[in-house]
């Protein structure tokens, strides 16, 4: 077996790594015989020289196999095990609705999610705003909830893809996060370790996404779909717009409220609804629960209309330690900010541009996101009732409502929000929320 430095040299010089070399390097990351400096050197070599499709697939497979791969066979589930991953955005609370929708349609969803990263919100942080909800339950409770309820949304355990945790930490401090092969391996190693029968991906493009244009997003989607399918998991993707928040809300408890209102049928914003339904449809097809798009959409519409998806959400919350009556008594459980006031437009016109990244950073600055990994979150803060692109607005009408801990923080956030939303005299061209779908690269 080649020495670690020789494996790095091959990739540094633009060569292709064979399976034995990739396996040895990932094993070294896992058992810590490969040093941080060697991980950094390999990450930079991959960032600069890329990887072939075969190398990317092998890297993903060995990262997946660096820890446990969940086995659902002993539970004798009567439906496919499915999940979803989003590449991250602002106002993206789709997971909160999608997991229960898929479960209500006959799938099983062991959704292992993450915390906020940069300007993007994290699904786990949203669930942490629910009193009592266990985002890190015992393995027994996790499996029982998936079996009994159909869905459990929790955090990553140390036993799933441990090589990714160490690899990612080094990439984060060496400016190599944006490497497509490394992104692919990082995303899929964790998701495929869940023991899935199908996976659907939401790859975002725009000013609030990590991929700022559709071409880059398309390349990522194709790579993810190819590798997922090569590794035996039917994988589908949609490419969606992130040039404005997906939901008209951003912030942890605020997004939980939005999700409950959506599942209750009280408020289903069009963009959010389109993406949620599209992902649900792709998941049902990937899992073989339906034969075509029409049948899938009918099934999804039905579990929303009848309240079955809402019921599943409530059962999941209670099974994982949250209140049994969260849906009926949101105000009693979800924290509210001290200051809740609108920001008013200072001129008439049309909403011509929304800097979604800036809105995400407003939530962070209010205390709803982290500047360091040790930061404590204020789950009550954020932004709600955000206007959509193209909206005609009069002077003095609200652009959004800011939820802040105090007046000074509200004022600071209001100034930022006025810079993040541009008003012009000409109505902009509408943005399609779903750019394309990818079933294979």
Q: Where are the domains of the chain?
A: 4-64, 73-329, 336-424
C-alpha 111, offset from chain centre: 11
Q: How far apart are CA 49 and CA 46, in angstroms?
A: 5
Beta carbons of 95 and 273 less than 8 angstroms apart: no
E strand or H helix that includes residue 373: none
Give the residue ranges of DSSP H helices in 240-269.
Answer: 252-264
Would you give the DSSP letter of residue 377?
P
Counted residue by residue, the chain has a size of 441
Matching CATH topology for 4-64 and 73-329?
no
Confidence at residue 116, expressed as pLDDT on a 0 to 100 scale: 56
Joined tokens for residue 63 = 């990262």
**∠ Cα 127 119 67 (to 5°):** 60
Confidence at residue 244, expressed as pLDDT on a 0 to 100 scale: 94
Cα–Cα separations (whole angstroms), residue 3 to 65, 149, 351, 385:
21, 48, 58, 57
Q: How far apart are CA 371 and CA 352, in angstroms?
A: 30
CATH T-level fold of 336-424: Aldehyde Oxidoreductase; domain 3 (3.90.1170)
Q: How far apart are CA 328 and CA 130, in angstroms?
A: 14
C-alpha 243, offset from chain centre: 16
Which among 86, 39, 29 has a CA at the least distance from the CA of 63?
Answer: 29
Confidence at residue 113, expressed as pLDDT on a 0 to 100 scale: 85
Confidence at residue 441, expressed as pLDDT on a 0 to 100 scale: 43
Joined tokens for residue 80 = 């496919």
CATH for the stretch 73-329:
3.40.1030.10
Distance spanning both ends of the chain, measured CA to CA: 33
Joined tokens for residue 403 = 């939820």
Per-residue pLDDT of the chain (441 residues; tens, 9 = 90+): 578 999 999 999 999 999 999 999 999 999 999 999 999 999 999 999 999 999 999 999 999 999 999 999 999 999 999 999 998 889 999 999 999 999 999 999 999 887 655 566 688 999 999 999 999 999 999 999 999 999 999 987 778 899 998 998 888 788 888 899 999 999 999 999 999 999 999 999 988 887 788 899 999 999 999 999 999 999 999 999 999 999 999 999 999 999 999 999 999 999 999 999 999 999 999 999 999 999 999 999 999 999 999 999 999 999 999 999 999 999 999 999 999 999 999 999 999 999 999 999 999 999 998 776 677 899 999 999 999 999 999 999 999 999 999 999 999 999 999 999 999 999 998 889 999 887 754
Long-range CB pairs of 8-11 (<8 Å, 24+ gap) are 8/38, 8/41, 8/42, 8/45, 11/42, 11/45, 11/46, 11/49
Confidence at residue 171, expressed as pLDDT on a 0 to 100 scale: 86
Residues designated catalytic? 83-86, 123, 171, 186, 190-191
Round the CA-based radius of gyration of the chain to a whole number and report it: 22
Cross-strand bridge partners of residue 201: 85, 237
Cα–Cα separations (whole angstroms), residue 53 to 185, 223, 269:
11, 8, 38
Give the residue ranges of DSSP H helices in 335-400.
Answer: 356-363
The CATH number for 4-64, chosen from 3.40.50.170, 3.40.640.10, 1.20.970.10, 1.10.1740.10, is 1.20.970.10
Q: How far apart are CA 34 and CA 224, in angstroms?
A: 27
Q: What are phi and psi of 33, to 5 degrees?
A: -85, -15
């Amino acid at each position: 077996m080649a020495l670690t430095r020789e494996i790095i040299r091959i990739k540094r010089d633009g060569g292709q790594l064979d399976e034995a070399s990739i396996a040895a390097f990932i094993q070294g990351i896992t058992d810590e015989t490969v040093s941080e400096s060697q991980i950094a050197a390999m990450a930079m070599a991959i960032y600069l020289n890329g990887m072939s499709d075969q190398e990317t697939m092998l890297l993903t497979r060995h990262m997946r196999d660096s820890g446990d791969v969940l086995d659902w066979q002993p539970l004798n589930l009567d439906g496919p095990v499915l999940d979803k991953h989003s590449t991250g955005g602002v106002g993206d609370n789709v997971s909160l609705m999608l997991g229960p929708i898929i479960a209500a349609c006959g799938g099983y969803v062991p959704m292992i999610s993450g915390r906020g990263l940069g300007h993007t919100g994290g699904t786990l942080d949203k669930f942490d705003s629910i009193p009592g909800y266990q985002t890190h339950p015992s393995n027994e409770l996790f499996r029982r909830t998936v079996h009994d309820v159909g869905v459990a949304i929790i955090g990553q355990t140390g036993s799933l893809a441990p090589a990714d945790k160490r690899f990612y930490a080094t990439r984060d401090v060496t400016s190599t996060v944006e490497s497509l092969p490394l992104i692919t391996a990082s995303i899929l190693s964790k998701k495929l370790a869940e023991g899935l029968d199908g996976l659907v991906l939401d790859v975002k493009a725009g000013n609030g996404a990590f991929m700022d244009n559709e071409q880059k997003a398309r390349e990522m989607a194709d790579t993810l779909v190819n590798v997922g399918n090569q590794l035996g998991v039917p994988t589908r993707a949609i490419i969606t717009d992130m040039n404005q928040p997906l939901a008209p809300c951003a912030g942890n408890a605020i997004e939980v409220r939005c999700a409950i209102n959506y599942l209750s049928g009280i408020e289903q914003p069009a963009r959010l609804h389109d993406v949620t339904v599209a992902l649900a449809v792709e998941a049902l097809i990937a899992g073989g629960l339906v034969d075509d798009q029409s049948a899938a959409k009918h099934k999804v519409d039905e579990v929303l209309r009848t309240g079955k998806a809402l019921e599943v959400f409530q059962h999941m919350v209670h099974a994982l330690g949250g209140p049994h009556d969260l849906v009926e008594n949101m105000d009693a459980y979800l924290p509210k900010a001290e200051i809740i006031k609108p920001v008013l437009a200072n001129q008439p016109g049309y909403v011509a541009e929304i800097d979604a990244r800036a809105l995400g950073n407003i939530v962070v600055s209010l205390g709803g996101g982290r500047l360091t990994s040790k930061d404590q979150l204020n789950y009550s803060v954020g932004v709600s009732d955000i206007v959509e692109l193209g909206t005609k607005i009069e002077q003095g009408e609200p652009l959004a409502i800011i939820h802040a801990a105090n007046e000074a923080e509200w004022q600071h956030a209001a100034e930022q929000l006025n810079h993040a939303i541009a008003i012009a005299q000409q109505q902009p061209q509408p943005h399609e929320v779903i750019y394309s779908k990818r079933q294979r690269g």
